[in-house]
Amino acid sequence: QQPVQSPQAVILREGEDAVINCSSSKALYSVHWYRQKHGEAPVFLMILLKGGEQKGHEKISASFNEKKQQSSLYLTASQLSYSGTYFCGTDSNQGGKLIFGQGTELSVKP
Amino acid sequence: KAGVTQTPRYLIKTRGQQVTLSCSPISGHRSVSWYQQTPGQGLQFLFEYFSETQRNKGNFPGRFSGRQFSNSRSEMNVSTLELGDSALYLCASSSVRPGGHSYGYTFGSGTRLTVV
């Protein structure tokens, strides 16, 4: 089952914050987050393992609620370079099968 | 360290033909996954190979197949091409935890396949 991301699209001004949510109907081992810019390959941002941990990458961080099978990606003080499509990928207990959500298109304007 | 290399970058094929795409993973990565990306469907999982074995398969017809060689390089083949197979095909490689799960995938730039 494909995870569901929300919102589908968001427009920000530089310096504003955003949250992207990812929800799955299946028990998860881990959640991955990737960013894809137009015409480029997806780039790995971070991975969260079951256990409710929160990880950070500069001003981008994420949380994972294992019981709710949900993850959220937090972008603070957004920069123009944050523009792109963000995908969450969910890895159930199967190992090696990463299923992606439909993506959230983020646009950061000056 | 070299990234994931996919060849060719672009392909134009006629309906009914077959095509083979190639992927060279990052050195040391034994897991290779393939995805189909289209504007309407997003990133769809095709299959995943680990140590020359197909571990996981997505919901694609049998026309889509793949294999992995002993050096972890992978190929995917699509036979009897249809117009709907036009897409960007992405390969991703990963090192694997002891339990078989990924540390995170590195994607190649993809092969853009156009079927006419």
Q: What average pLDDT does this structure show over A59-80?
A: 92
Q: Is the pLDDT of residue A16 over 70?
A: yes
String of DSSP letters for chain B = ----EEE-SEEEE-TT--EEEEEEPPTT--EEEEEEEETTTEEEEEEEEETTEEEEE-S--TTEEEEE-TTS-EEEEE-S--GGG-EEEEEEEE-B-TTS-BS--EE---EEEEE-
The nearest CA of chain A is from the CA of B43 a distance in Å of: 6
Q: What does the pLDDT look like over B38-60, one tens digit per residue? A: 988 889 999 999 999 999 999 99
The nearest CA of chain B is from the CA of A33 a distance in Å of: 9
What is the pLDDT, as a whole number, of residue A83? Answer: 97
Q: pLDDT category, A40, cuts 50, 70, 90?
A: very high
Q: Closest Cα to residue A97, out of B99, B55, B109, B97?
A: B55
What is the pLDDT, as a whole number, of residue A95? Answer: 76
Residues of B in contact with A87 (CB under 8 A): 42-43
What is the pLDDT, as a whole number, of residue A66? Answer: 87
Q: What count of other Cβ atoms lies within 10 Å of the Cβ of residue A78?
A: 22
What is the pLDDT, as a whole number, of residue A57? Answer: 67
Q: Is A63 helix (H, G, I), strand (E, B) or coil?
A: strand
Which of A41, A46, A97 has the CB atom closest to B108's CB atom? A41
Q: pLDDT category, A19, cuts 50, 70, 90?
A: very high
pLDDT, chain B, mean: 95
String of DSSP letters for A5-58 = EE-SEEEEETT--EEEEEE-SS--SEEEEEEE-TTS--EEEEEEETTT-EEEET
Contact B107 A32 (CB under 8 A): no
Q: What average pLDDT does this structure show over A43-70?
A: 82
pLDDT, chain A, mean: 91
Which of B42, B101, B110 has the CB atom closest to A91's CB atom? B101
What is the pLDDT, as a whole number, of residue B101? Answer: 82
Q: Is the pLDDT of residue A92 over 90?
A: no
Q: Closest Cα to residue B86, out of B5, B13, B9?
A: B13
Q: What average pLDDT does this structure show over B69-75?
A: 96
What is the pLDDT, as a whole number, of residue B97? Answer: 84
Q: What is the CA radius of gyration of chain A?
A: 13
By residue count, chain B amounts to 116
